[in-house]
Chain A
Amino acid sequence: MNDPRKNEGSEPTTHFGFQDVPESQKAQKVAEVFHSVAAKYDLMNDLLSGGMHRLWKRFTIELSGVRTGNRVLDIAGGTGDLTKQFSRLVGPTGEVVLADINASMLRVGRDRLLDRGVAGNVKFVQADAEKLPFPDNHFDCVTIAFGLRNVTHKDDAIRSMLRVLKPGGRLLVLEFSKPSSNLLSKVYDTYSFNFMPLMGKLITNDADSYRYLAESIRMHPDQDTLKAMMVEAGFERVTYHNMTGGIVALHRGIKP
C-alpha cells in the first residue's frame, strides 16, 4: 500500500494522536503513555467507560468460539481481562499467551493474573504485534483488544496475526470506532476531549496520555476501512459488530 506520508530522502511519518511523528518514534511515545497509565489502567477503564468495557470484552469472548484445548493469543493483552476468561475456557489442556509490547503493562497483567490464581495454562510474552515471535499456523484464536490503534504499521500487524493463526482460526479485533449517529458523535467528542483528559489529570496526574487516547481513537480507521484492511491481508468472512452505537466495534475474520 502506498503511504502518502513517505517522502524521498526523509523518514516516513505516522500519526501519534493528532501529531505527525517519525515512524521510529511512535512505538517509544506509545510506550511512554502506557508506562504512565499502567498502574491505574483498570480503574481508569472502569471510570471512563462506566464499566462498559467489561461488556465489550464479554461479547468478544462470546464470539471467539474458543473451546477446551485451544491455543489463544491475546495481543496487547494489558492487564489480562481477556486472558483470564480464555484461561477458564481452554482449561488445563489449552494454552493462552498474553503478549504486550509494553513491559509495564505486561508486569501489571502478570501480577494481577497470578494474584487471582490464573496460572498453569498462561504464558506471558513481550512481543511486537508487527513481528510476532511465534511459528506459522500456531493459534486457534488471536485477539487484540484496544491495541491495534497504537500499532505503527497496522497492515503488517494484521498480516503477522494471519500468519500465526491456524487455517480456520479466528482473529478478533476489539477497538474504538466511529459512532453511527451524528448526535452521539458530538456528545462523544465533547466527552472524550474534555472529560477524559480531566479525569486523567485528577486520577493519574497525566492529562496528556488521555488526550492521546482520545486523539488516537479519532485517527483509527473506521469500521469499513478496518474490514477492508483485514480482507486485503487475506482474512475471509470478515464481519463487524457495532457496540454502544459504534463507539466500539468488534471485527472478526477467519483464516482461509
Chain B
Amino acid sequence: MVISGLLAGVELGLNRVLRLDSTALPRLAGLAGRVIAVDCQKPSLQLFILPDGEGLRLAAHWAGEVDCRLQAPATSLLRLATSREKTAVLHSPEVELEGDSAVLLELAGILQDLELDWEYELSRWLGPVGSQLLGSHLRSRASWTRETLDSLRLNLADYLSEESRSLVGQREADARFAELDRLKLALDRLDARVERLAQKNKPIA
C-alpha cells in the first residue's frame, strides 16, 4: 500500500510534467495498451509502466501480460532516468531486455525528446507579465551561470596545462599522439616489409 501510494504521487507529478510537452502525450497514445515491466535487482523492486494518451500509469503489481521486461540494477536505472543518451545505457552489459524492446526504446525516445514549456505552466499561475519577467530573469541567470562555468573550465584547463604544468596541454598532447600514430604506421610498414622479404627468401620445397 505504501509503495502504491508513493507511485500514485509520482504518477501524478510525472503526468503534469509530461503535459508541459506538446508532443509527448500524442506520442504516448501510440503506445497505449503496452505494458513495460521494470525489475530492479538491487534493491529488489518491481514496477510496471503503462503508457497511454493521458500519460504514464505506474503500478506496483500487474496481473496481465507484459510486452517488455527490463532487468537492471538501480544504478543503471538511475542512469537511464537521468541520462540524455538513454539508448547507450540500454545497451550496457548489466541491462537485460526481454520481449518487444521497441516499446521501451520508443518510450525512452519520448522521454529523451521532452521539451518542457515551463513558461506556459508559470503563466497559468502568475499571468503573462509575471511569467515573462520571471522567465527572462531566470533565462539571463541561467545564461550567466553557463558562461561562468564555461569560463571557469577554460581557465582551470589553461592554468593546469600552461602555468602549473601539472597536465599536458591539448595541443602538446595532440602533437605527441600524432607522432605516436606516425611511429605505429612506420612500424606496421616495417613489419610488412620484413614479412615480404622473409617470404621471398624462403627455400622452395
Please determine whether B32 and A63 come into contact, CB atoms closer than 8 angstroms: no
Evaluate whether A62 and B60 lie within 8 angstroms (CB atoms) in the complex, with A55-B1, A55-B5, A67-B65 already known.
Answer: yes
**Closest Cβ–Cβ distance, residue A96 to chain B (whole Å):** 14
Please determine whether B1 and A91 come into contact, CB atoms closer than 8 angstroms: no
Task: Tell yes or no: B13 within 8 A of A by CB.
Answer: no
Q: List CB contacts (< 8 Å) of A150-197 with chain B.
A: 170
Task: Tell yes or no: B17 within 8 A of A by CB.
Answer: no
Task: Tell yes or no: B8 within 8 A of A by CB.
Answer: yes
Q: What is the CA–CA distance of A65 and B62 in the complex, to the nearest angstrom?
A: 6
Interface string of A237-256 (1 = CB under 8 A from B): 00000011000000000000
Task: Give every chain B residue within 8 A of A64 (Cβ-Cβ).
Answer: 63-64
Task: Tell yes or no: A123 within 8 A of B by CB.
Answer: no
Please determine whether B8 and A67 come into contact, CB atoms closer than 8 angstroms: no
Task: Tell yes or no: A205 within 8 A of B by CB.
Answer: no
Please determine whether B64 and A65 come into contact, CB atoms closer than 8 angstroms: yes
Please determine whether B33 and A244 come into contact, CB atoms closer than 8 angstroms: no
**Closest Cβ–Cβ distance, residue A239 to chain B (whole Å):** 11
Indicate the size class of the contact surface on chain B: 10 to 19
A contact residues, total (Cβ < 8 Å): 20
Please determine whether B8 and A54 come into contact, CB atoms closer than 8 angstroms: yes
Q: Nearest residue in B to A58 (C-beta to C-beta)?
A: B4
Task: Tell yes or no: A25 within 8 A of B by CB.
Answer: no
Q: List CB contacts (< 8 Å) of B1-26 with chain A.
A: 1, 4-5, 8
Task: Tell yes or no: A134 within 8 A of B by CB.
Answer: no
Q: What is the CA–CA distance of A171 and B5 in the complex, to the nearest angstrom?
A: 24
Please determine whether A68 and B64 come into contact, CB atoms closer than 8 angstroms: no
Task: Tell yes or no: A66 within 8 A of B by CB.
Answer: yes
Evaluate whether A68 and B1 lie within 8 angstroms (CB atoms) in the complex, with A54-B8, A63-B61 already known.
Answer: no
Please determine whether A67 and B61 come into contact, CB atoms closer than 8 angstroms: no
Task: Give every chain A residue within 8 A of B63 (Cβ-Cβ).
Answer: 62-65, 170
**Closest Cβ–Cβ distance, residue B123 to chain A (whole Å):** 23
Task: Tell yes or no: B52 within 8 A of A by CB.
Answer: yes
Task: Tell yes or no: A88 within 8 A of B by CB.
Answer: yes
**Closest Cβ–Cβ distance, residue A209 to chain B (whole Å):** 27
Task: Give every chain A residue within 8 A of B119 (Cβ-Cβ).
Answer: none
Q: What is the CA–CA distance of A45 and B33 in the complex, to the nearest angstrom?
A: 30
Q: What is the CA–CA distance of A53 and B109 in the complex, to the nearest angstrom?
A: 35
Task: Tell yes or no: A18 within 8 A of B by CB.
Answer: no
Q: Nearest residue in B to A241 (C-beta to C-beta)?
A: B61
Listed A/B pairs (26) with beta-carbon separation below 8 Å:
A55-B1, A58-B4, A58-B8, A58-B59, A59-B1, A59-B4, A59-B61, A61-B59, A62-B59, A62-B60, A62-B61, A63-B63, A64-B63, A64-B64, A65-B64, A67-B64, A67-B65, A68-B33, A88-B54, A88-B57, A89-B50, A91-B32, A91-B33, A91-B52, A170-B63, A243-B1
Extra A-B contacts (16), CB below 8 Å, given A55-B4, A58-B4, A66-B64: A54-B8, A55-B8, A58-B8, A61-B59, A62-B4, A62-B60, A62-B63, A65-B64, A65-B65, A67-B33, A67-B64, A69-B33, A88-B57, A89-B50, A170-B63, A244-B1
Query: Which residues on B are within 8 Å of A, measured CB to CB?
Result: 1, 4-5, 8, 32-33, 48, 50, 52, 54, 57, 59-65
Q: Which 10 A-B pairs rank lowest in CB-CB distance, beginning with the nearest?
A: A68-B33, A65-B63, A65-B64, A62-B61, A62-B59, A63-B63, A55-B4, A67-B64, A91-B32, A58-B4
